[in-house]
Amino acid sequence: MLVVHHLNNSRSQRVLWLLEELALPYEIKRYQRDAETNLAPPELEAVHPLGKSPVLGDGTRTVIESGAIIDYLLRHHGGGKLLPATGSDEYEDYLQWLHYAEGSAMLPLMLKMYTSRLADGGAGLQPRINDELNRHLGYLNRALEGTDWFVGNAFSGADVQLSFVVEIAPLLHTLDPFPNLAAFRDRIHARPAYKLALARGGEYAFGPG
């Protein structure tokens, strides 16, 4: 049985969504953020030393990192769904987007979040952070020009991985200049499997509001 160590209001929600898209059976082990610090509870450190979520358990194997989990599930349990053929141009695009989401796109968003907690809001850094946010969101917006999904206009694991970027971007910055991203967010929120994952996963502050 696949087990998702699921933290409320976290990236692990997209793993639940993928499992619903694949119609795979899975178990959820729930963890709640601290009400004051918003940090994950120490119980997650018993699952993996980093104490982060998501963590996927599959028998004796433990997989961390959202991108690695998505790729693992598609390769080992996806039955060919949501994954381009290995060696194809689309597969190379899929890998690039899968890594780009957390490797590049999330960095300015995280900087925005952390600097906002400083007494002065990190005022000296804000122009550079905002420039980077506009650069990355603009890049994503252009990639969706004339298409619904990021890889060959077919829904894939890359879209699942990129979903978190477009869900938190309007909370920390804005999506107003990026209509293709706003439409992408609406499309993912409308998917039946996304709604099923929300119902099963519980508290998630970044979904449809």
For 23-77, how does the pLDDT look when each residue is reduced to its tens digit (9 = 90+)? 999 999 999 999 888 889 999 999 999 999 999 999 999 999 999 999 999 999 9
75-104 pLDDT, tens digit per residue, is 999 999 999 999 999 999 999 999 999 999
Residue 117 carries which DSSP code? Answer: T
Q: Is the pLDDT of residue 7 over 70?
A: yes
Q: State the first-to-last Cα distance of the chain, in angstroms, to the nearest integer.
A: 32
Name the pLDDT band for 207 (thresholds 50, 70, 90).
confident
Residue with tokens 């499309």: 187
Q: Is 61 helix (H, G, I), strand (E, B) or coil?
A: strand
Q: Which residues pair with 137 in a beta bridge?
A: none
Domains by residue range for the chain, with CATH = 2-82+193-201 (3.40.30.10), 89-190 (1.20.1050.10)
CB atoms near residue 143 (< 10 Å): 18
Dihedral (CA of 51, 57, 63, 68) sign? negative
Instruction: Answer yes or no: are the C-beta atoms of 72 and 22 closer than 8 Å.
Output: no
Residue 39 carries which DSSP code? Answer: P
CB atoms near residue 67 (< 10 Å): 20
pTM of the model: 0.95
Query: Within 13 A of 101's CA, how many CA atoms are on the CB side?
Result: 25
**Apex 22 CA angle, 204 and 166, nearest 5:** 40
